Structure 1
Amino acid sequence: MNSLPANLFEWENHLSALREMLRGATQGRGRLALVSGAVASGKTTLLNTFAEQAIESGELLLEATGSRAERDLPFGIVRKIFDNGAMPADVRSEVIALLDGNALESTAAGRMRVMSQISSALLRMVDDRTLVVLVDDVHCGDDQSLQFLLHLARRVRQAKVLIVLTESPRLRQEQFTFHAELLRQPNCVRMRLHMLTESGVAEALSGTLSATVAARLAPECHRVSGGNPMLLRALLEDWRTVGEHGEAQQRPAPGEAFAHAVLGCLHRGEPEALEIARGVAVLGDARSPRLLGQLLDLGANTVQQGVQDLHQCAILEHNAFRDEVARTAVLDATPATARGALHARAARLLHADGASALDVARQLVSARQDAERWTVPVLREAAEFALVEEELEFALRCLECAHHACPPGPERTALKARLVSIAWRIGPATAESHLPELTEDAGRGRSPRATSPRSPPTSPGRGGWTRRPAPSPRWPARPPPATTPR
């Protein structure tokens, strides 16, 4: 299944409200609807569904979509509204001439006069048909177009016109006035779309699946997607792709389509949304806005707003990714150089913040960069703790990083010896690859120290081995301040 059913489930009441507003506009009582919702909450789906119904009713439909890339194009949205197949050619030519001439207007009064002429040309077409103007993502519109839409909204109260605008709840500073002025209009209705509830997800699934299967899948689908229609659609696509008998599967598992949908949501959001998501993916969660801000070199307000946006669009839940597939998708989509720099910077910040050796080491290992001298005791201690938890591969990676960062000498040889002992537990083949260098060091007289790096003491406890508190490490001087990855 590649798509959800055409009906809008829990948004049906909004669609009904728009139909009622259209009936009022048809009777000469102009209406204005402002629909807001997080990224991928269904605003565009709602708008498209209503547009189809308006066309079937024989209304004159004019559509436009705001674009962040065209935000600096004067009257960009207005030009899209009039560049429409349903627009009479003479009206289009008249308006384009007015827009081109507007560039010569240097005063506010002159620009207002041009906007009045454009709106008059638009309203002349409503004698026989109701005019429906739909603008998706108006928050991405240019300032001149927003001024025109506000000017038009003030003139349609007694006209056969319905204006429907969709916006993000996250507004730019310069849009607050536009937003407030729209809501001041007595004929304006505000609607807010939310993510689907679990029952809404079940209703969505029942459109193409049996009621029994839909009820069984709904809880897990809601947990993974958070009710985000875009993520839900992708999750169902992955569920179907697993095999020809998809309905026999017990639970949906996010895969490639889900990963692409997560990235799609991030790219559709505000520019910093993807950057903040990368920071959360590197740190593992967003519990510390201060640390996240330091990692990304962003202000506290920007980080808090970005994390809130990611919660609203259901990418995050409780300050973490809902599913590991989403976190992995964000990390994999990050350029290797930038990703390594973020992990290295995170290691420095965590170390300076007093984090555990294991937390710091996981960042150092993930950075896949040549470690610095200060990391050696951190990596060595982390390896011993990892051994207690039977994380042999990670312990080996820690000691490999420490060995590369350590200068030639007895300590480096001791690290290699410890590394070989761990590698031997993984497999003889793994250990043999390290033996030549250890033999060479021994031949040069760089024998390891009498004692190997001390591991955290352990004692047998109920149910297995438990870890006693490790002795306080003798940390080296803190590393220099981390630089911001660019």
Structure 2
Amino acid sequence: MNSLPANLFEWENHLSALREMLRGATQGRGRLALVSGAVASGKTTLLNTFAEQVIENGALLLEATGSRAESDLPFGILRKIFDNAAMPPDVRSEAIALLDGNALESTAAGRMHVMSQISSVLLRMVDDRTLVVLVDDVHCGDDQSLEFLLHLARRVRQAKVLIVLTESPRLRQEQFTFHAELLRQPNCVRMRLHMLTEAGVAEALAGSMSATVAARLAPECHRVSGGNPLLLRALLEDWRTVGEHGEALQRPAPGEAFAHAVLGCLHRGEPEVVPIARGIAVLGDARSPRLLGQLLDLSVNTVQQGVQDLHQCALLEHNAFRDEVARTAVLDAIPPAARCALHARAARLLHTDGASALDVARQLVSARQDAERWTVPVLREAAEFALVDEELEFALRCLEHAHRACEPGPERTALKARLAGVAWRNGPAAAESHLPELTEDARKGLLAPRDIAPITSYLAWSGRLDAAADGVSALARTAGTGDDPATTAAVSAAAQWLTMLSPP
């Protein structure tokens, strides 16, 4: 499905209101509509749908879209408005000349005089036709264009003009005055777009599939997409791709298209939203704005605003990504070196913050860097908790990181022995790579008493009977010169077991 139905019933009230405002403007009662909504809430779709109806109605349509990259370009939006093909060439030339002349004005009064002249040029066109000005993403507009739009809005109350602007719910500090002044106009109507409800999702799905299938898919589609139209389209694209392979009846599963849509949502938001989403993906949730701010070197206020944006566009629910595919997509988009650095920093911050060994260890393992000495006890503790939870592979990763962080000596040998024991659970072959180092440590008498019997058995089961015998003999010599009863008993038991297994 390339697009969702434009006339979703949850937006029909907004379309009806815009059509009514158009009728009023046609009768000489100028109107102004300010439509707000989160990223990907459907503002552009609503505006495009209404634009088609404006054209069908015979009105003169002038459109422009704000761009963050052009927000510092004086009169950027206004020049786009005049650059419409529907604009009469002579009117365009006159308006552009006035704009160019405005740049030469050094006083506020002079600039306002030129703006009044430009608006008069526009209003002369409404003698024969209704004028409709649509500006998408006006919050990305340059200050001069916003000033002009506000000036024009004050002059159209008794003119055949309709102005429709869409904006983000989060405005820059310098836009508050523009926003407040627009809402003060008696002919201004404010509209707010929300994400689709589950019923709205079902209605959208019914536009391209049977009502029965739409009703079945709606709850899961709403859970994964949060009612975000962009994510919903991508989710259905993934579902249809799977359906081509004869599995169309299965539940919707987010895939490649969904992952791309998630990244698209992020990059359409405020600049700080991308790093905040990355930080949430690394930490797993956004429960602590303070910790997230420390991770990203951002203020708590900035983090809280970014998290709010992510909730509003339905990427987050209860401070975490709605679906693991979304989180994975964000993580995979982070450059590898930066991602490892974030995990390493998160590990240290969590450790300082008193987080559990498991939480810290997951960051350390994900960092894929050589662990520091302080991480060894954390990783050992996490490995034991992971074994209790039957997370064998994660326990192995923890022990491997801890072993690499240790200097040669008894602690490192003990870690290697534990690592071999955990690997042995996957089968004798899994522990093979650890036995040479343990054999050498056994010959040096470095094995702890509790590890003597297991290591002897691993060597024997792997067919290394000579190595096992050599190790036990070396340990016996060490035990004979020491006063550790536990070591002596362990060596004796291992020797007896080995003798029974192989008398020579």
The two structures have a TM-score, normalised by structure 2, of 0.87
* TM superposition shift of 1:258: 0.7
Residue matched to 2:354: 354
SS at match of 1:154: helix
Structure showing the higher helix proportion among its residues: 2
Residue matched to 1:436: 436
SS at match of 1:135: strand
* TM superposition shift of 1:9: 2.5
Task: Report the Cα distance in structure 2 between the residues aligned to 1:246 and 1:121, rounded to whole angstroms.
Answer: 61
Residue matched to 1:332: 332
Task: Report the Cα distance in structure 2 between the residues aligned to 1:64 and 1:324, rounded to whole angstroms.
Answer: 37
Residue matched to 2:188: 188
Residue matched to 2:203: 203
In structure 2, the CA distance between the partners of 1:426 and 1:48, relative to structure 1 (3 Å rule), is same
Task: Report the Cα distance in structure 2 between the residues aligned to 1:164 and 1:206, rounded to whole angstroms.
Answer: 29
Q: Give matches, 1:118-267, under 5 Å.
A: 118-244=118-244, 248-267=248-267
Residue matched to 1:448: 447
RMSD across aligned C-alpha pairs, in angstroms?
Answer: 1.4
Higher relative contact order, chain-length normalized (CA < 8 Å, sep 6+): 1
Whether contact under 8 Å (2:240, 2:248) holds in the other structure is no
Residue matched to 1:484: none
For the pair shown, the structure with the greater C-alpha radius of gyration is 2
Task: Report the Cα distance in structure 1 between the residues aligned to 2:102 and 2:255, rounded to whole angstroms.
Answer: 51
Whether contact under 8 Å (1:2, 1:236) holds in the other structure is no
Whether contact under 8 Å (2:239, 2:248) holds in the other structure is no
The two structures have a TM-score, normalised by structure 1, of 0.90
* TM superposition shift of 1:440: 4.3
Residue matched to 2:412: 412
User: Which is further off, 206-215 or 163-172?
Assistant: 206-215
* TM superposition shift of 1:118: 1.0
Residue matched to 2:467: none
Residue matched to 1:293: 293
Residue matched to 1:312: 312
User: Which is further off, 54-63 or 244-253?
Assistant: 244-253
SS at match of 2:64: strand
Task: Report the Cα distance in structure 1 between the residues aligned to 2:246 and 2:109, rounded to whole angstroms.
Answer: 64
SS at match of 1:29: coil
Q: Deviations over 1:138-195 (max 9, x none)?
A: 0000101100000010011111100000000000000000000000000000000001
* TM superposition shift of 1:441: 4.3
Q: Deviations over 1:72-124 (max 9, x none)?
A: 11100001000111111111111222222222211111111111111111111
In structure 2, the CA distance between the partners of 1:356 and 1:144, relative to structure 1 (3 Å rule), is same
Q: Give matches, 1:4-15, under 5 Å.
A: 4-15=4-15
Residue matched to 1:281: 281
* TM superposition shift of 1:446: 6.7
Whether contact under 8 Å (2:8, 2:200) holds in the other structure is no
Q: Deviations over 1:357-380 (max 9, x none)?
A: 111100100111111000001001
Whether contact under 8 Å (2:8, 2:203) holds in the other structure is no
User: Which is further off, 238-247 or 392-401?
Assistant: 238-247
Q: Give matches, 1:31-180, under 5 Å.
A: 31-180=31-180
Q: Unpaired segments of 5 or more residues in structure 1?
A: 453-486
**Corresponding letter in the other structure for 2:265:** C
Whether contact under 8 Å (1:411, 1:448) holds in the other structure is no
Task: Report the Cα distance in structure 2 between the residues aligned to 1:121 and 1:448, rounded to whole angstroms.
Answer: 92
Task: Report the Cα distance in structure 2 between the residues aligned to 1:332 and 1:412, rounded to whole angstroms.
Answer: 34
Query: Size of the alignment, in residue pairs?
Result: 451
**Corresponding letter in the other structure for 1:242:** V
SS at match of 2:84: coil
* TM superposition shift of 1:273: 1.0
Q: Unpaired segments of 5 or more residues in structure 2?
A: 452-504
In structure 2, the CA distance between the partners of 1:56 and 1:230, relative to structure 1 (3 Å rule), is same
SS at match of 2:243: coil
Whether contact under 8 Å (1:234, 1:257) holds in the other structure is yes
**Corresponding letter in the other structure for 1:369:** Q
Whether contact under 8 Å (2:242, 2:248) holds in the other structure is no
Task: Report the Cα distance in structure 1 between the residues aligned to 2:98 and 2:2, rounded to whole angstroms.
Answer: 45
* TM superposition shift of 1:450: 3.4
Task: Report the Cα distance in structure 1 between the residues aligned to 2:365 and 2:245, rounded to whole angstroms.
Answer: 41
Matched-pair identity in %: 90
Q: Deviations over 1:364-417 (max 9, x none)?
A: 001111110000010011111111111111011001111111112221122112
Task: Report the Cα distance in structure 1 between the residues aligned to 2:439 and 2:128, rounded to whole angstroms.
Answer: 94
